[in-house]
A and B are shown apart, each in its own frame.
Chain A
Amino acid sequence: MTEQDKRVTDTIRSLQERAKELNCLYRIEEITNTEELALEDVFRNVIEAIPAGWQYPEVCVARIRYNSTEFVLDGFRDTEWIQKANMHALGELVGSIEVAYLNQMPKADDGPFLKEERKLLQTIAERIGSCITHRRLHDAMKELRNTAPQRGMREWSAILDLLRRTDQSLLMRVSRKMINHLCWSGVKDARELLQDFRPLPDADERDVFFDSNRPRGRALPPSATELADRVFELAAAHLSDDEVISCVHNWIKQDRASFLVNALENHHTAISEVSDAIQRYQHAGHGEVELSPSTRKGMLVSLVRRFLSDQLEYVNVAKNYVEIRDFHQLIQKLIYPARGHGKTGGKGAGLFLAYQIMRKHCHDNPLLAEIKTPKTWYLTSDGMHDFVYCNHLEDVFSQKYKEIDEVRQEYPDIVQVFKNSQFSAAIVKGLSLALDDLGDKPLIVRSSSLLEDRFGAAFSGKYKSLFLANRGTKQERLDALMDAIAEVYASTFAPDPIQYRSERNLLDFQEGMGVLIQEVVGTKIGDYFLPAFAGVAFSHNEFRWSPRIKREDGLLRLVPGLGTRAVDRLGDDFPILVSPGQPGLRANTTPEEVARYAPRFMDVINLETNKFETVDVADFLRSVGDIVPAVEQLVSILREGQLRQAMAGSIDFERDDLIVTFEGLLTRTPFVKQIHTILTLLEAEIQHPADIEFASDGKDLYLLQCRAQAPTKHAKPAPIPRDIPHARLIFSANRYVSNGTVPNITHIVYVDPEQYGRLGSRDELLAVGRAVGKLNKLLPKRQFILMGPGRWGSRGDIKLGVPVTYSDINNTALLIEIARKTGDYTPDVSFGTHFFQDLIEAEIRYLPLYPDEDEVTFNETFFTHSPNLLAELAPEFEFLSETIRVIDVPRAAEDQVLYVLMNADLDEAVAVLIDPTEQADHGDDSERTITTTDGQNWRWRARMAESIAARLDPTRFGVKALYIFGSTKNATAGAASDIDLLVHFIGNEKQRRDLEQWFEGWSLSLSEINYLRTGYRTDSLLDVHIVTDDDIAKQTSYAAKIGAVTDAARELLLGNGGVATK
């Protein structure tokens, strides 16, 4: 056996021993807390329970001596291997407890006994002692109750008498409380009494407040008995017997928890001490009912602030839902550095609270009772500092003040350094315990930043969360876990969060990163480990697909496998959308739509390769579908164009066309109701819309995360200005408005509803669709909006809306449907149903307009009288100029651009013309900073384009002119934009090849520089389009940009004296 193996075996053995001891202790607790048991029976039960807690139970026996009686286990005899502990009750020695081995056993710390066993015996003795005390007091009280009334004696005086004899310091504390109580009750004599015991040179009470700088003289404390006698004499005179007895009773009880209060009130106590105090409190069998409500609340608030969060909103809610025993459970799963003071972090606190809230309500709602949370261990936020200091990495804290490109460049090295650093012994020990508890199920290591609970979901996804397959030997698993935690720690210093914090002025906030180590919910299927389904849900639905869905009906994004694909927008794959308040109304209804927008891929953990993978759902089901738990709830069968709910056992995984619809789950299980209940409950309790993550192993539903729903970057409620001058307001809306700002609109494509309705032939209607498709490709991406009648994407009856497909509109920033009244009738709008999910995933906004309703503005003149660019942009569609109007906003409105501000809270939206230079007034702080960063992006690109032009030798490469167009020219380039260049080329084949090569070099270097600046990786930054004289003559494709009517390419000055010809 190697040294390492031996160490591992030893560790395991010692852990097994600890478990035995704990079990033994729990058993003793149980016995001593059973009030019905007579003391003799308690002793008998205890000696029976003891051997199991010792290393060699088969030869272990025990004896208790109490007063003169002896309680022994059969076969007890005095041997030379014996341990003894004395028992005390009410301050006096009352007996002893002994443990003996009958035979000689291998030598350990203390003869054959372990040092932990010595401690255990001591604890048992203390516990029995306090049990005896409790019984004696109890008996004394009973006796008093029986006898006192007859003898006319006061029952409480007997208690005092008892205290006088047993615990003078407690007597003292009780007496002091009684004086205070009497004073507060307005007993004048009590104040005098108080002053007697606190004689001040000037007995003017105001001095206490007004002259606190002067040290006060302090009287010698009176003896406890003397004080007590005088106080209770007074009490007897002013208070009823009942009141005195109940006060004394409560104070004595509360006093027993004072050690915990003290530990909590002192901010310097380390977690370990608080933890000990909580354990002692729990073990000592204090039911919390014994505490006065105020003491209890105070303690709970301290605990919440200590372990979870000191954010006031959080504390306010949490204090009503937690109990001291919850913290007792929490600390069992808490990993912290020696002398640590940290917290669980935002995610940890959120999940903990949500779970407590659900637990408290599960009686009124059985649906909640079935919801679980995965086993979770918490590494406190100061674990990271411990790690950093332990490895002398302090310099890393100043990383955030460096230039962002430096941060980016150094980040990979930081990750490596972190991964090669050590954790402190306390943490390693904690992690090892956690692994034993969690077993070999795959784990997720989640960052739980202190910033997260402060700023809500805005921080979500900025820090890392890592999946671990958690396979191999204990040491391998521990190494992998530490590696993952180090990586999560390192992610604090990643460029993205640093940039994000810098933009929001949060750089100086001290990093504190808690870590959640959570078992992954799921089952093993083949080589993979995955949940049957997972997802996210929100109390507020910001993307409603039907007017029947209210914002409060919520939104559920559901995927098969790990929930990662539901959290992020994917662009090329779709989660199933359900509104929990209206589960019957689906975004997709026809079988074709359902199949088109079904999830096609899923994320899983590959247990063989220890990797996180994305797999094709169809392939997965074909190979292992038959062992997926509850698969019939997840898929429907598409056959002959019809979708049928799958039935257990009736699926042919080889041949059936299976579509993930979750139809069974949604219609035949209480799942949607459960989610709706959780969301409604959490929203009501945290007084804020909630945002949860969940997963299911096919059997149970698990809550993984809970936080306040924060608007995403693109869907914040925009402030609606109230003082917009009439001339600048283009339209307003007050129905079905979602949240968001659509900024910097330079072009509007307006399909006039009235003119569209008058088009005489189907061909003309179809031509409108084609024209829109063409404009979609010509106009600057995400800087134009499409406005049109009724239902965009109408098929069949295309009179109702422009017949377009998603590809015809995919570059717009906003899709507007106009419902004009005809007679008394206002037509329906489609809510973008024909491509609803495409719009959501691409974050294209949607807004319906009802121009003929009261209290809205619709500046029709602006749309119908602004110059129309259609004929110039797309001459082949000139005949539709009455119907389609393309408006260049800055040209039509004195260089202003259009902002559409949407606010779902108010259910209002406005489109306003804004001078680009004053745009900052209409976004919040963060938006403003983002705009400036983006500004840097295009300025840098424009500069680079100019220097490329300056270095380009026109004669060498046969170049006549070089143009720039697109986002760089329009000053809208972002970090991921490319630089669009247009080359007017007049050279030969070789020159063309050389030119392409020359650009290629530039492109690669620029994309590297761009990566360092922004973190966006692109294969090449230059998008070069070469056009010839012929192209220009024919105006084919990009050549049309030269001298175009709107958004024309701008010519750049060529180098080497090659002045471009105009």
Chain B
Amino acid sequence: MSTKPFNAFAMAQAQFDKVAETLGLDQGTKDLLRHPMREYQFALPVRLDDGSTKVFRGFRVQHNDARGPAKGGIRFHPQETADTVRALSMWMTWKCAVAELPLGGGKGGVICEPHNLSMNEQERICRAYVRQIARDVGPLRDVPAPDVMTSGQHMLWMLDEYEQMRGGHYPGAITGKPVGMGGSLGRTQATGYGVVFTVREALKELGIRPQDTVAAVQGFGNVAQHAIELYHQIGGTVTAVACWDQEDQQPYTYRKQDGVDLVELRKITDRFGGINKQKATELGYERLPGEAWIEQEVDMLFPCALENSITADNVTKIAKRVRLIAEGANGPTTPDADHVLQERDIFVIPDFLANAGGVTCSYLEQVQSNMNYYWENDEVLGKLDVMMTSAFIGVSDMARKRKLYMRDAAYTIAIARVAQACKDRGWV
């Protein structure tokens, strides 16, 4: 066991250092990218409902904006730290870069516990936050979005305060807005579809026709459902879906060997992606243990639910037939398990590429907001397809050329792109 306490920023830096080494980055570039370019910390005096005043602490970190305006969420968290925000802003830089978006990375937060605050008080925090940071953010500098314990509502309050201060409309100053209030269509589908756009490209490279493939999916929430939807459209078959059962407080895998019917399953699914087990049985689905999805005789696995669901314990249960894993969830594979996948030569589409559909859609929202002209759903999804495809090809080319594991290739290309932008600008 290590003696140093876990620190997210130290971990992000270590990850960067490893890739920087392989890229042979010069010291100046390394020094620049190891740390955020700009950090803001400020006090937010806020009047509470009972008339008293409480001073909250706010942060905004812009890690790097060489490729474009910084982009990243604002979190409300009771024990937010500067280091957490730094680490998250650095990851945002890589994430935007791997998806080839003309954006940099940023993150922000307020130390507060929303469970101890009324909505009125939260609104006052949002507005106070904007009053402090307005001159350093905006459509051309840094674009916040919802994050942990903040929602579209918080974004609208922030946007409103920003526009009040600026005396004009700047819908592109913030993303994650509801449709009709500067939001983009296609956001619900974006992440799930994004997963399958990359899968489709990967299958092309592997020389497999989608209609000849069978997949098992972990999760049946928004991402999983839309991934299955598009995967069905390109001809694939899903034989098993795992989801959480709220009543039994454990997951189950539902299996139908000739393929699940998405339409009928959605009818018996609650809004949290829980499938009704009685009705599923009536419809002829086998109910298997929650872990069973991973052992299925399929060509592909789509872990679209939880962190750490492929572990050293269960990675050995993955069938020989499995050729591809697309990580729809964040961090579904533990490092030990990842080594095994690498050894077995399973093609892994790493999380921050596979689920980049979300951030890409945020970028498209920003573009539309800046034009104050909004596209139809199909147009958004069409652009998403083009961008995801291009992002995938970038990573897979890198993997092939430099004989890298996909995950390493994704990091490498992301960091290389950012480093290049800094150089081009003459910063380093």
A791 close to B (CB within 8 Å): yes
- Cross-chain contact B187 with A760 (CB below 8 angstroms): no
Partner of B84 from the list A547, A657, A797, A806 (CB cut-off 8 Å) is: A797
- Chain A proximity mask over B1-35: 1 for CB below 8 Å, otherwise 0: 11111101001000000000000000000000000
Partner of A641 from the list B4, B148, B151 (CB cut-off 8 Å) is: B151
Partner of A760 from the list B3, B49, B114, B116 (CB cut-off 8 Å) is: B3
Which residues of chain A from 783 to 837 have a CB within 8 Å of any chain B CB?
Answer: 790-791, 795-797, 799-800, 806-807, 810, 827-828, 830-831, 833
- Cross-chain contact A759 with B152 (CB below 8 angstroms): no
- Cross-chain contact B271 with A807 (CB below 8 angstroms): no
Specify which of B3, B114, B153 lies most central, judged by the most chain A CB atoms within 10 Å of its CB: B114
Stretch touching chain B among A98-106, A221-229, A590-598: A590-598
- Cross-chain contact A828 with B78 (CB below 8 angstroms): yes
* Inter-chain contacts of B84 with A (CB < 8 A): 797
- Cross-chain contact A589 with B152 (CB below 8 angstroms): no
- Chain B proximity mask over A571-594: 1 for CB below 8 Å, otherwise 0: 010000000001111110111000
- Cross-chain contact A584 with B120 (CB below 8 angstroms): yes
Query: How far, in angstroms, from A595 to B115 measured CA to CA in the complex?
Result: 15
Shortest B420–chain A CB gap in Å is 30
Known: A572-B247, A757-B5, A766-B307. A590 touches B77 (CB 8 A): no
B118 close to A (CB within 8 Å): yes
Known: A589-B114, A640-B183, A766-B307. A790 touches B4 (CB 8 A): no
Specify which of A584, A638, A791 lies most central, judged by the most chain B CB atoms within 10 Å of its CB: A584
- Cross-chain contact A643 with B153 (CB below 8 angstroms): yes
Query: How far, in angstroms, from A644 to B113 measured CA to CA in the complex?
Result: 21
B281 close to A (CB within 8 Å): no
B117 close to A (CB within 8 Å): yes
* Inter-chain contacts of B246 with A (CB < 8 A): 572
B234 close to A (CB within 8 Å): no
- Cross-chain contact B152 with A641 (CB below 8 angstroms): yes
- Cross-chain contact B75 with A764 (CB below 8 angstroms): no
Query: How far, in angstroms, from A657 to B272 measured CA to CA in the complex?
Result: 12
- Cross-chain contact A810 with B249 (CB below 8 angstroms): yes
Shortest B185–chain A CB gap in Å is 10
* Inter-chain contacts of B116 with A (CB < 8 A): 546-548, 585
Partner of B2 from the list A572, A642, A757, A761 (CB cut-off 8 Å) is: A761
* Inter-chain contacts of A483 with B (CB < 8 A): none
Of all chain B residues, which has the CB nearest A590?
B149
Shortest A423–chain B CB gap in Å is 44
- Cross-chain contact B178 with A758 (CB below 8 angstroms): no
Specify which of B1, B49, B118, B308 lies most central, judged by the most chain A CB atoms within 10 Å of its CB: B1
* Inter-chain contacts of A766 with B (CB < 8 A): 307-308
- Cross-chain contact A585 with B6 (CB below 8 angstroms): no
Of all chain B residues, which has the CB nearest A584?
B118
B121 close to A (CB within 8 Å): yes
Of all chain A residues, which has the CB nearest B153?
A642
Query: How far, in angstroms, from A644 to B78 measured CA to CA in the complex?
Result: 25
B179 close to A (CB within 8 Å): yes
- Cross-chain contact B79 with A828 (CB below 8 angstroms): yes
Query: How far, in angstroms, from A800 to B84 measured CA to CA in the complex?
Result: 12
Query: How far, in angstroms, from A762 to B335 measured CA to CA in the complex?
Result: 11
- Cross-chain contact B6 with A765 (CB below 8 angstroms): yes
Of all chain B residues, which has the CB nearest A803?
B307
Partner of B152 from the list A572, A595, A640 (CB cut-off 8 Å) is: A640
- Cross-chain contact A587 with B179 (CB below 8 angstroms): no
B250 close to A (CB within 8 Å): yes
A879 close to B (CB within 8 Å): yes
A216 close to B (CB within 8 Å): no
A763 close to B (CB within 8 Å): yes
* Inter-chain contacts of B178 with A (CB < 8 A): 639-640, 642, 644
- Cross-chain contact B151 with A759 (CB below 8 angstroms): no
* Inter-chain contacts of B151 with A (CB < 8 A): 590-591, 641-643
* Inter-chain contacts of A310 with B (CB < 8 A): none
Of all chain A residues, which has the CB nearest B184?
A640
Partner of A762 from the list B6, B79, B153, B179 (CB cut-off 8 Å) is: B6
- Cross-chain contact B78 with A791 (CB below 8 angstroms): yes
- Cross-chain contact A584 with B119 (CB below 8 angstroms): yes
- Cross-chain contact A546 with B5 (CB below 8 angstroms): no
Query: How far, in angstroms, from A41 to B3 measured CA to CA in the complex?
Result: 104
Query: How far, in angstroms, from A831 to B78 measured CA to CA in the complex?
Result: 12
Known: A766-B308, A797-B79. A585 touches B152 (CB 8 A): no
Of all chain B residues, which has the CB nearest A770?
B308
Shortest B180–chain A CB gap in Å is 10
Instruction: Report whether over half of chain A's contact residues are helix, strand or loop; otherwise say mixed.
Output: loop
B286 close to A (CB within 8 Å): no
Of all chain A residues, which has the CB nearest B312?
A876
* Inter-chain contacts of B2 with A (CB < 8 A): 759-761
- Cross-chain contact B79 with A882 (CB below 8 angstroms): no
Query: How far, in angstroms, from A830 to B4 measured CA to CA in the complex?
Result: 25
B188 close to A (CB within 8 Å): yes
* Inter-chain contacts of B291 with A (CB < 8 A): none
Of all chain B residues, which has the CB nearest A758?
B5
A355 close to B (CB within 8 Å): no
A327 close to B (CB within 8 Å): no
Of all chain B residues, which has the CB nearest A755?
B1
* Inter-chain contacts of A810 with B (CB < 8 A): 249
* Inter-chain contacts of A876 with B (CB < 8 A): 313
Of all chain A residues, which has the CB nearest B185?
A640
B334 close to A (CB within 8 Å): yes
Of all chain B residues, which has the CB nearest A639?
B178
* Inter-chain contacts of A850 with B (CB < 8 A): none
Specify which of B115, B153, B307 lies most central, judged by the most chain A CB atoms within 10 Å of its CB: B115
Which residues of chain B from 159 to 197 have a CB within 8 Å of any chain A CB?
Answer: 178-179, 183, 187-188
* Inter-chain contacts of A806 with B (CB < 8 A): 249
Shortest A600–chain B CB gap in Å is 8
- Cross-chain contact A800 with B121 (CB below 8 angstroms): no
Specify which of B2, B75, B80, B116 lies most central, judged by the most chain A CB atoms within 10 Å of its CB: B116
- Cross-chain contact A763 with B120 (CB below 8 angstroms): no
- Cross-chain contact B117 with A585 (CB below 8 angstroms): yes
Query: How far, in angstroms, from A879 to B187 measured CA to CA in the complex?
Result: 43
Of all chain B residues, which has the CB nearest A657?
B271
Which residues of chain B from 293 to 312 have a CB within 8 Å of any chain A CB?
Answer: 307-308
A545 close to B (CB within 8 Å): yes
Partner of B148 from the list A586, A759, A760, A796 (CB cut-off 8 Å) is: A796
- Cross-chain contact A584 with B49 (CB below 8 angstroms): yes
* Inter-chain contacts of A585 with B (CB < 8 A): 115-118
Query: How far, in angstroms, from A796 to B107 measured CA to CA in the complex?
Result: 14
* Inter-chain contacts of B49 with A (CB < 8 A): 584
- Cross-chain contact B6 with A807 (CB below 8 angstroms): no
Which residues of chain B from 111 to 130 have a CB within 8 Å of any chain A CB?
Answer: 113-121
Shortest A501–chain B CB gap in Å is 35
- Cross-chain contact B152 with A833 (CB below 8 angstroms): no
* Inter-chain contacts of A799 with B (CB < 8 A): 5-6, 79
Partner of B149 from the list A589, A758, A830 (CB cut-off 8 Å) is: A589
* Inter-chain contacts of B8 with A (CB < 8 A): 762, 797
Shortest A201–chain B CB gap in Å is 78
Specify which of B75, B247, B271 lies most central, judged by the most chain A CB atoms within 10 Å of its CB: B271
Shortest B149–chain A CB gap in Å is 5
Shortest A811–chain B CB gap in Å is 10
Shortest B187–chain A CB gap in Å is 6
- Cross-chain contact A596 with B152 (CB below 8 angstroms): no
- Cross-chain contact B334 with A763 (CB below 8 angstroms): yes
Specify which of A638, A807, A876 lies most central, judged by the most chain B CB atoms within 10 Å of its CB: A807
* Inter-chain contacts of B149 with A (CB < 8 A): 589-590
Which residues of chain A from 639 to 678 have a CB within 8 Å of any chain B CB?
Answer: 639-644, 657
Of all chain B residues, which has the CB nearest A879?
B1
- Cross-chain contact B11 with A762 (CB below 8 angstroms): yes
Q: List 12 A-B contacts (CB under 8 A).
A: A547-B116, A582-B118, A585-B117, A586-B115, A590-B149, A644-B178, A759-B5, A759-B6, A760-B4, A761-B6, A762-B8, A763-B308
Q: Which 6 pairs between the two chains have the least Cβ-Cβ distance?
A: A584-B118, A760-B2, A807-B249, A642-B152, A589-B114, A833-B115
Known interface pairs A585-B115, A810-B249, A833-B113; 4 further A-B residue pairs with C-beta atoms within 8 A, sorted by A's residue number: A572-B246, A589-B117, A763-B334, A833-B115
